[in-house]
Amino acid sequence: MGRPRKPRRQCVECGKELSTNPNAKRCGDCYFARKGIPSKARPKPTCEVCGKEVSKRAKKCIDCWDNRGSRKEKPEEEKRTYREPLADYEEARRIWSLEIGRKNEKLKKPPKAPKGRRQRYVVLPDVHAPFHDTAVIADIIKREKDKASKLICIGDISDAYSFSTFLKYDRVTFSDEWAHVTALLATLSENFPEVEIIIGNHDERLEKRLRNHLTEDMIDAVMYMTGGTLCPLTALTKQFENITIARHEVPGTTHTVDWFTTIGDAWLGHPQKFSRVPGNALRALEDWLLDVESSLGLDRFRVIVLGHTHQLALIPWRSNSMLVECGCVCRTQGYQLSPRLGGRPQKKGYVWFEQVDGITDMNSIGMHWYSDVE
């Protein structure tokens, strides 16, 4: 019989048998996992506010630095006071930042446009700030900011509620409304390479009131102080390097048009046309464009996008055209709830299309509808 096998020593951590090395105290697995072995390295630095690990020279983690050390959750009452009158632009931007989850308060430079010949155009429909749906706009930004080559705001960025001559259901001051508009434009400027704004009927309310109530000399004085415009939205866009106002020059005249724009074979505008019959406003607009294309110096368009109606529609038309209604991103307002029956329920949503060398890919035209059940 052979000599009995001498039992091997066991790992002090897991109990496995050790190798024949007389100095071994741990098995290979426990040794390489550093179980029970005190580290001689310096302890890793941690954030002085929340305790997270940070880099060697940092005192705060990136989250605490962005919040400047504040770890408190934003109180819910801030969201509930969103519709209360705001003091200034800074307050509106702070609340808007809370809505979209932005941490850095400093304005960022506009992003660069995606490379390639294929261009993606996103249409932001009637906003009517300060009655805009911030959740819907935040979702559009999230979906499109990394893909869009250009954002087209198709009219009624502002509601100009304080200048309305209709029956008012809310109390909204101009300073309150303009704080929201400025904060919104700053956000759009930060997230899209280019932004073009079409002037809607609500955007031009102040100019109408001024021309009705001021003398010509007073009008000249106001325009001298504002850089030649009576539209506050036009004056505001001068603060942002990548935001422009639509401008179509009518051939043979000194007139310009700011309520529509053209991109390649697409026409986008905010005419004051509405119909309770679905599609009627689109067909009337298409007929009008055929009538005036020569006098306005327009080409024949394959895609026509209509704002103002707060409706959503994609209608293939004639042999190779598409008629589009682009919806809205505003909340239901008081006048829409009156017992006077009129109009149709508004549709929240937006549309987009893509072009290559100015020619629209018809299969790229799409829309997203934010329905009540979504």
Percentage of the residues of the chain whose pLDDT score is greater than 90: 39
Looking at residue 106, its pLDDT comes to 65
Tell me, yes or no, whether 41 lies in a domain: no
Contact between 69 and 49 (Cβ < 8 Å): yes
pLDDT tens-digit series, residues 100-139: 555 555 678 888 988 899 999 999 999 999 999 999 999 9
pLDDT tens-digit series, residues 160-175: 887 877 766 677 787 8
What confidence category does residue 289 fall into, taking pLDDT thresholds of 50, 70 and 90?
Answer: very high
Is there a cis peptide before residue 271, judged by omega within 30 degrees of 0? no
Tell me, yes or no, whether 168 lies in a domain: yes
Tell me, yes or no, whether 266 lies in a domain: yes
Domain residues for the domain of 307 are 79-369
pLDDT tens-digit series, residues 220-248: 888 887 778 888 888 888 889 999 999 99
Q: What is the mean pLDDT of the chain?
A: 84
Tell me, yes or no, whether 97 lies in a domain: yes
Tell me, yes or no, whether 308 lies in a domain: yes
How many Cβ atoms are within 10 Å of 3's Cβ, its own excluded?
Answer: 5
Contact between 127 and 352 (Cβ < 8 Å): no
Overall number of domains in the chain: 1
Tell me, yes or no, whether 57 lies in a domain: no
Tell me, yes or no, whether 52 lies in a domain: no
The pair of structure tokens assigned to 194 is: 């280019």
Tell me, yes or no, whether 11 lies in a domain: no
What confidence category does residue 191 fall into, taking pLDDT thresholds of 50, 70 and 90?
Answer: very high
Which residues, including other chains, have CB under 8 Å from residue 305's CB and lie 6 or more apart?
Answer: 123, 154, 266, 267, 268, 269, 324, 325, 326, 351
Half-sphere exposure of 51 (CA within 13 A, CB side): 0
Report the CATH number that the domain containing residue 279 is assigned in CATH. Answer: 3.60.21.10
- The mean pLDDT of 316-320, rounded to a whole number, is 91
Looking at residue 232, its pLDDT comes to 84
